[in-house]
Copies of this chain bind each other. A is one copy, B any other.
Amino acid sequence: MLARDLPGVPPGSRVRLQGWVHRRRELATVTFLVLRDRTDLAQVVVRTGAGHAASDVLPVVPPEETTVEVTGTVTANPQAPGGVEVTGVGDANPLITPLTDPAETPPVELWRPALTAALPTLLDHAAVAWRHPAQKARWEVAAASLRGFRATLDAAGFTEVCTPKLVGTATESGANVFPVDYFGRPAYLAQSPQFYKQQMVGVFERVYEVGPVFRAEPHDTVRHLAEYRSLDVELGFVRDHRDVLAVLRDVLAGMADAVRASGAADRLGVDVPQVPDKFPVLHFADALELVGAPADEPDLAPEHERALGEWAWAEHGSDFVAVEGYPMAKRPFYTHPEPVDGQESGGARWSNSFDLLFRGLELVTGGQRLHRYADYVAAIEARGEDPASYATYLEAFRHGMPPHGGFAIGLERWVARLVGAANVREVTPFPRDLHRLVP
Contact = CB atoms under 8 A, between A and B. Distances in A.
A374 interface: yes
Residue among A140, A164, A196 with most chain B CB within 10 A: A164
B400 A182 contact: no
Given A199-B126, A400-B103, A401-B100, A226 B166 contact: yes
A430 B38 contact: no
Given A127-B199, A202-B127, A398 B104 contact: yes
Contact of A183 (B18, B216, B374): B216
Nearest to A195: B439
B166 A437 contact: yes
Interface string A50-89: 0000000000000001110000000000000000000000
How many copies the complex holds: the figure is: 2
A276 interface: no
A24 interface: no
Given A183-B434, A200-B429, A439-B393, A162 B399 contact: no
12 contacts: A18-B237, A39-B157, A66-B400, A67-B236, A67-B400, A67-B401, A67-B402, A161-B429, A164-B227, A183-B216, A210-B210, A211-B211
A417 interface: no
A65 B400 contact: yes
A127 B373 CA distance: 14
Interface stretch (A128-136, A249-257, A339-347, A349-357): A128-136
A99 B238 CA distance: 11
Contact of A146 (B140, B160, B227): B160
Nearest to A403: B99
B438 A392 contact: yes
B154 A147 contact: yes
Interface stretch (A114-122, A173-181, A328-336): A173-181
B398 A131 contact: no
Contacts of A182: 178, 226, 437
B157 A38 contact: yes
Contacts of A432: 164, 166
A72 to B, nearest CB: 17
